[in-house]
Amino acid sequence: MTATLSDNDNAVTDLPSDAPPVPEGATMVTVKIERFNPEVDEDLHWESYRVPAMPTDRVLNMLHYIKWYIDGTLTFRRSCAHGVCGSDAMRINGVNRLACKVLMKDMFAKSGETTLTVEPIKGLSVEKDLLVDMEPFFEAYKAIKPYLVTTGNDPSRERTQSVAERERFDDTTKCILCAACTTSCPVYWSEGSYFGPAAIVNAHRFIFDSRDEAAEERLDILNDIDGVWRCRTTFNCTDACPQGIQVTKAIQEVKRALMFRRR
Amino acid sequence: MTTTEAPLSVDKPRSSTRPAARRSNFELYSWVFMRLSGVVLLFLVLGHMLIMLFLDGGVHRINFAFVAGRWASPFWQLWDLTMLWLAGLHGGNGLRTVINDYSRTNVTRFWLKILLYCSILLTVVLGTYVIFTFNPNIG
């Protein structure tokens, strides 16, 4: 059921015959998805689908419905489907969210027909439909050395930490690398060489860890032209984070550490 | 039917495609400069506009004699000099970040920055020259 480019641009596909019965209490919604198939399409285009939605459904259920019963070629990432793995970050109604964490009852229009728009996250090249090339994102992540660096002999006991020392970087340990923050950042959209919020969050996680010894090195990396000084504190990242990490605050803390070379 | 060009395996997982950090504090200093000069400019520019446009007859009293009278005092010379330098560098540095963000290619980025640096240099040098060599007798 591959749709062609121009004819079907805004056509609404009706319910297929082999779809399961629509449950009681379901509302029909229009899901408008920005699609791209590199083998046939020259550019991104919108396609709309009519999908029955329960208030308890998540946006991910809408995508599953489309993929399973309407158009099997719809491509997107999802793994755990419960907001842990961070695979299904996408731009839902213009904001970056995990499709598995957005409930349909919050998406219903106050009056009239509900239209849900779903786009791939911005700033990374689209490979197919909602699936983007995550490699530049992970490349920036790897560049800040997201692992414990120590010197000397390994201790014979575990590396202990006080409650306060652990608390210092607790917020930034929650990152699931979904790229919702980085791809919500206007600086990242226009210049992909910027490290982006996610890489800085993960640098923060080790810079402020009392057990780690490579803080200076990471600070030097983030002190460069593509580092923290590119941040314009628009707070898009903080708003986008499905884990509720105070991303902009973490970036500002790295700036402060750079200014005073003190943690 | 085309195939995707992305490699199926990662060749050298630990090799970095990013240039190594340059260990330069330039971006830090320019960030701090923007904050400090912004605060100073707030007073200088608002004060300048208040004096020039509103107080004591405002804009209608400005003529050659008025400017000559002001620049006879080292205080106003220093005020205008500081304002010129800070506004030139603050605005120029702001435009530099805009160019860095929005240029699509390194060539555009390079030439836009050259144009920017030349115009800053011209404005600041010419302004400084006028402030210090101003001759009230030519009027």
Range of the domain at A97: 12-131
Q: Please report residues of A whose CB lies closer than 8 A to that of B6.
A: 127, 133, 135
Q: How many CB pairs under 8 A join A and B?
A: 51
Predicted pLDDT at B1? 52
Is A220's CB within 8 Å of B32's CB?
no
Identify whether B2 is part of a domain. no
* A216 in reach of chain B (CB within 8 A): no
- Report percent pLDDT > 90 for chain B: 54
- Point out the domain boundary residue: A107, A131, A155: A131
Q: Are residues A139 and A254 in the same domain?
A: yes
CA-to-CA separations, B37 to A66, B78, B96, B120, in angstroms, rounded: 55, 15, 16, 16
- Do A68 and A78 form a contact (C-beta atoms < 8 A)? no
Range of the domain at B40: 27-138
Q: Are residues A76 and A57 in the same domain?
A: yes
Identify whether B45 is part of a domain. yes
Identify whether B111 is part of a domain. yes
- Do A35 and A46 form a contact (C-beta atoms < 8 A)? yes
Task: Give the model's confidence band at B62: pLDDT under 50 very low, under 70 low, under 90 confident, else very high.
Answer: confident
Identify whether B14 is part of a domain. no
Number of domains in chain A: 2
Compute the average pLDDT of residues B87-96. Answer: 96
Identify whether A126 is part of a domain. yes
Number of domains in chain B: 1
Q: Please report residues of A whose CB lies closer than 8 A to that of B32.
A: 259
* B24 in reach of chain A (CB within 8 A): yes
- Do A99 and A59 form a contact (C-beta atoms < 8 A)? yes
Compute the average pLDDT of residues B5-15. Answer: 57
Question: Dihedral sign, CA of B119, B120, B121, B127?
Answer: positive
Q: Are residues A184 and A78 in the same domain?
A: no
Predicted pLDDT at A4? 42
Predicted pLDDT at A9? 45
Supply the mean pLDDT for chain B.
86
- For residue B127, the domain's CATH number is 1.20.1300.10
Mutation target vs A (from B18, B34, B106; most A CBs, 10 A cutoff): B18
Q: Please report residues of A whose CB lies closer than 8 A to that of B16.
A: 139, 142-143
- Do A222 and A168 form a contact (C-beta atoms < 8 A)? no
Is B24's CB within 8 Å of A223's CB?
yes
Mutation target vs B (from A223, A254, A256; most B CBs, 10 A cutoff): A223
- Point out the domain boundary residue: A76, A107, A131: A131
Predicted pLDDT at A5? 42
State the complex-level ipTM. Answer: 0.76
Q: Are residues A138 and A251 in the same domain?
A: yes
Residue ranges of chain A with pLDDT lower than 50? 1-11
Predicted pLDDT at B11? 58
Torsion from C-alpha of B30, B37, B52, B49, nearest 10 degrees: 90
Q: Are residues A62 and A178 in the same domain?
A: no
State the Cα–Cα distance between residues A143 and A91, nearest whole angstrom. Answer: 26
Identify whether B72 is part of a domain. yes
Task: Give the model's confidence band at B103: pLDDT under 50 very low, under 70 low, under 90 confident, else very high.
Answer: confident
- For residue A170, the domain's CATH number is 1.10.1060.10
- For residue A104, the domain's CATH number is 3.10.20.30
Identify whether A7 is part of a domain. no
Predicted pLDDT at A258? 93
Identify whether B5 is part of a domain. no
Identify whether A241 is part of a domain. yes
* B29 in reach of chain A (CB within 8 A): no
Greatest alpha-carbon span in chain B: 81
Read off the pLDDT of residues A56-78 as tens digits, 9 standing for 90 and up: 999 999 999 999 999 999 999 99
Burial of A94 (0-12, 13-18, 19+ CB in 10 A): exposed
Q: Are residues A247 and A138 in the same domain?
A: yes
Minimal C-alpha gap between B78 and chain A (Å): 30
**Residue A223, Cβ neighbours under 10 Å: how many?**
21
- Give the residue with greater pLDDT, A116 vs B1: A116
Q: Are residues A146 and A230 in the same domain?
A: yes
Residue A108, CA atoms < 13 Å, CB-side half-sphere: 15
Q: Are residues A185 and A97 in the same domain?
A: no
- Point out the domain boundary residue: A131, A150, A178: A131
Predicted pLDDT at A10? 47
Minimal C-alpha gap between A249 and chain B (Å): 17
